[in-house]
Amino acid sequence: MYNSKIIGLGHYVPDNVVTNDDLSKVMDTNDAWIQERTGIKERRHVVKGDGDTTTTMGVKAAKIAIERAGIDKDDIDFIVFATLSPDYYFPGPGVLVQRDLGIKTVGALDVRNQCSGFVYAISIADQYIKTGMYKNVLVIGSELHSHGLDMTTRGRGVSVIFGDGAGAAVLSREEDNTKGILSTHLHSEGQHAEELSLIAPGMGKRWVTDIIEDNDPQDESYFPYMNGQFVFKNAVVRFSEVIIEGLEKNKLKSTDINLLVPHQANLRISQFIQKKFQLSDDQVFNNIMKYGNTTAASIPIALTEAWEAGKVESGDLVVLAAFGSGFTWGSVIIRW
């Protein structure tokens, strides 16, 4: 059985920087309030009409990852695209990436696991490569949140958190089973699904015809809802559990970690996990301060920036971990 190895990374974020002070002009909030609760200073938002979509941002990140991998786009055997904000209700962005990159008619899979989406997508790609089915898999996490947020005081508890952007990785076959992705670990707990959710325009309770007929501008079901304190309490527990699970699976300890790249949900969560595992600032990579929470894109953006900054070297033990809506959570243990 093969291992899979990340051989190329890339990311893309819109040029438009939205600071906390910018948000204070459209809602009752301020820089101190946002930083104290989230650690976020600014985020990137797409400007309407600039051509950036979930797919096009993913394509831009993918082109960089493929170039850095040193392969041709036609060497890609399969595409896995993680997002909660697709361009269309259907089809998903995976096939749009295949089209826009001009890749041959390979399979394309969409993953809807929100903040855990990239971890789930990496796990899927890893399994396909481990079994020998594919050699090179393109994995993308991309989100366009800004067009779907309640940018008023009513929605500030959620809207100040999220940003737009994309990250991508190329996974390739590695015959040395001591290198590459050592293991992945995935979990879910659907009983808490509504604690972090966006209900509309789902088909479960109302059909599209009902939604059109109602045409209710006060309908809050179109905006994300989050029970912040409940999510935080669950996140710190599940983050810890799934990191420990991955380390124990590979007979490793927290002292073996060279770099932890957590999902960028809240700087306070990352700091809690860092303290629990007694990791130094150099052992944990955070960039939520610049980009906010980009959901499925947050880990690949952060991992790419860490690699670009020279914080990831051959032989390093790198741990990816995420928790989010669903609830879903997971970890990836990598020997770089």
Angle at which helices 31-38 and 267-276 cross, to 10°: 30
Q: Please tell me the predicted confidence (pLDDT) of residue 271.
A: 96
* Order of strands, sheet of 259-262, starting from the edge strand that comes earlier in the sequence: 180-188, 328-335, 317-324, 259-262
**C-alpha to C-alpha distance for 178 and 170, rounded to whole angstroms:** 19
180-197+222-335: CATH superfamily: Thiolase/Chalcone synthase (3.40.47.10)
Tokens of 280: 């130094």
CATH superfamily ID and name for 3-174: Thiolase/Chalcone synthase (3.40.47.10)
- The confidence score (pLDDT) of residue 207 equals 60
Delimit the CATH 3.40.47.10 region(s) of the chain: 3-174, 180-197+222-335
- Provide mean pLDDT across the span 222-228: 77
- For residues 179-208, average pLDDT: 84
Return the amino acid letter for 166: A
Lowest average pLDDT, out of 42-51, 135-144, 217-226, 311-320, goes to 217-226
Mean residue pLDDT across the chain? 94
CA triple 253-326-211, angle to 5 deg = 160
Catalytic residues: 115, 263, 293
Q: What is the band of 16 on the pLDDT scale with cuts at 50, 70, 90?
A: very high
> Kind of pairing, strands 259-262 and 317-324?
parallel
Instruction: Compute the Cα dihedral for 276, 279, 280, 286 and give only its sign.
Output: negative
> Do residues 19 and 145 touch, judged by C-beta distance below 8 A?
no
From 120-124, 193-197, 223-227, 276-280, the region with the lowest mean pLDDT: 223-227
| Contact between 160 and 34 (Cβ < 8 Å) | yes
Distance CA 60, CA 314 (A): 26
